[in-house]
A and B are shown apart, each in its own frame.
Chain A
Amino acid sequence: EPEVTQTPSHQVTQMGQEVILRCVPISNHLYFYWYRQILGQKVEFLVSFYNNEISEKSEIFDDQFSVERPDGSNFTLKIRSTKLEDSAMYFCASILDRNTEAFFGQGTRLTVV
């Protein structure tokens, strides 16, 4: 069964450092997402990406965040200058089209120290 894959599974970084979280969505999917989940809390939407541009973003997704689809398969989330409160699980998701189900990756646990 096709799946969304994310790397790394766990990333520890110093406050102020840049991190890049990587995702390979399902190959024929057209819509891509990043969500985050702070420990013990609900999953929160960060950003959606379609047709090589951001289609929607949340208040959380400020100037420190950016997304990119550098080639036909990868979808990345960059945090320019990490803060302690960026510590969370980050999930990538993809959907084939706007009427279909979302598939989630296993997540990257980001720990900012």
Chain B
Amino acid sequence: GENVEQHPSTLSVQEGDSAVIKCTYSDSASNYFPWYKQELGKGPQLIIDIRSNVGEKKDQRIAVTLNKTAKHFSLHITETQPEDSAVYFCAARATGGGNKLTFGTGTQLKVEL
């Protein structure tokens, strides 16, 4: 089955700096890669996603890149703000079967003033 690795597990940046979180996946059949933000005590909230026919996608301060050959995808947050502090999860999904998401282990992002 699919295995998603995520690094780093914790990331501390100064407000205004950029943050980068990286994930790798193992199943070449995976074709959809969402990123979720989880605040304490809440459910995962989708912040951006990318499909395998696209190499990069941007939404304001957030961007995601995908390298299908290397099975890598990354989340980039620019101009970080304190409200960006949360746990971020990458995930991968292949079409078929139950269409389940396989999650990475999470990154605790702390944006310091």
Contact = CB atoms under 8 A, between A and B. Distances in A.
Given A42-B106, A99-B95, A101-B49, A107 B43 contact: yes
Given A42-B89, A42-B106, A98-B95, A105 B101 contact: no
A33 B100 contact: yes
Contact of A102 (B34, B41, B105, B106): B34
25 contacts: A31-B98, A33-B98, A33-B101, A35-B101, A41-B105, A43-B89, A45-B102, A48-B98, A55-B97, A55-B99, A56-B98, A56-B100, A91-B44, A95-B99, A98-B99, A101-B34, A102-B34, A102-B46, A102-B101, A104-B44, A106-B42, A106-B43, A107-B41, A107-B42, A107-B43
Interface of A: 4, 31, 33, 35, 41-45, 47-48, 50, 55-57, 91, 93, 95, 98-99, 101-107
